[in-house]
Chains A and B, each alone.
Chain A
Amino acid sequence: MPNILVVEDSPTMRQLIGFAIKRIPESRIIEATDGVDALKKLASEKIDVILADINMPVMDGLKLVSLVRENPSYKNIPIIMITTEGAEEDRKKALAIGANAYLTKPIQTQELMKLVTSFFP
């Protein structure tokens, strides 16, 4: 059963992403509202894939990615960034920090599902 951590401050986006993820058989969604909340969830749950927004209060998505990559327990978890930042330099920056994929909003649920399942073993 893959556990997917959705890190997003917008309840609208969390619900929309949840709709897409629910269609992946046996998947389980764990929600976090910012980077700090995500780190707490990472410590208490076994996470298979992280979906994270970039612009969030308290701790943004880029900081979260760098902290996850520094931690030996989580460093191999695939991270997909979901953001409104569509510029090429933003994409490069996120991938350079350690994100595995970069999706821009508005998202297509089918595209998101494909991307998430591509990281399952």
Chain B
Amino acid sequence: MEKEFNLSKKADEFLQMFKKGEEFTKNLLKENERLRFRIAQLEEELEKAGNEDRKMLYEEKIRVLEKEIGSLLERYKQVEEENKDFASKYLEVESENNNLANLYVASYQLHSTLDFNEVLRIVLEIVINLIGAEKFAIYLMDEKSNELLPAAAEGISLSEIPKTKIGEGVIGKVAKEAESYFIEDFGERGSSPADPAHPIVCIPLKIKEHVIGVISIYSLFIQKASFSNIDYELFNLLAGHAATAIFSSRLYTQSERKLTTIQSFLDLLKEKPKK
């Protein structure tokens, strides 16, 4: 009986112990679950914190890149502007080069000979080819009669061009005042027939202020709608260089002629038979 009682007591004790063990295990499992949850929470927080840092880093990078893009765009615009400037400067230089070539060739040709007729031919060539004049005449001053006499012409017969007194009409006035004349309404005159008394352009040929003649332009080629800057430069060049070229070649031709005459006279004297 007592043995049975001891056994029952021990069984109770064991049961109690087992229950305690069960309770302890349950508590342990609960604590484990709580800790796992906490770990998960912490991990999540940690991850969140990591994402925030990365986000901040990325945002910073984006800001830097945006700044770089901004400065690159700014630089691109600057370079584009510079390119435009270079392109326009290139065109200017090209045009200037073209103008200088025209002026150089005109000047070179004018002073390439001392033959009077050759100089006149060169002046005609320059006015035709470099300016684009269709009908025009070169008048030279006759100091004795104080008149302008036509010396050469293009597109119009010399016989059709009347001589002009200094101070009379447009041509005479240009010769007197030594100032170039340009018609005001160029468009209207472009297609009208040439009138020797009414040029569209008249340029005095002058050495310093001494006028030795004029170039009188009556019409331009169909493709030449108006004058450009180079035309005015050429007119200026012609006013001076053509004048000196014509003047010096005329003097040279005259002196050559005189020299030939004197030489012939001397030869005659030498050949005089001795008595």
Contacts and interface: CB of A to CB of B under 8 A. Distances in A.
Interface of A: 10-13, 15-16, 19-20, 84, 86-87, 104-106, 108-110
A12 B130 contact: yes
21 contacts: A10-B125, A11-B125, A12-B106, A12-B109, A12-B129, A13-B129, A15-B105, A15-B108, A15-B109, A16-B105, A16-B130, A86-B222, A86-B224, A104-B223, A105-B128, A105-B132, A105-B221, A106-B102, A106-B131, A106-B224, A110-B94
Nearest to B131: A106
A12 B224 CA distance: 19
Interface residues of B, number: 25
B98 interface: yes
Binding site of B, secondary structure by majority: helix, strand, loop or mixed?
A: helix
Contacts of A84: 128-129, 132, 134, 221
Contact of A19 (B105, B125, B129, B223): B105
A109 B98 contact: yes
Interface in B216-253: 221-224
Contacts of A108: 98
A116 B106 CA distance: 23
A110 B129 CA distance: 16
Contacts of A12: 105-106, 109, 122, 125-126, 129-130
A13 B131 CA distance: 12
Given A12-B129, A86-B222, 7 more contacts: A10-B125, A12-B122, A84-B132, A104-B221, A104-B223, A106-B129, A108-B98
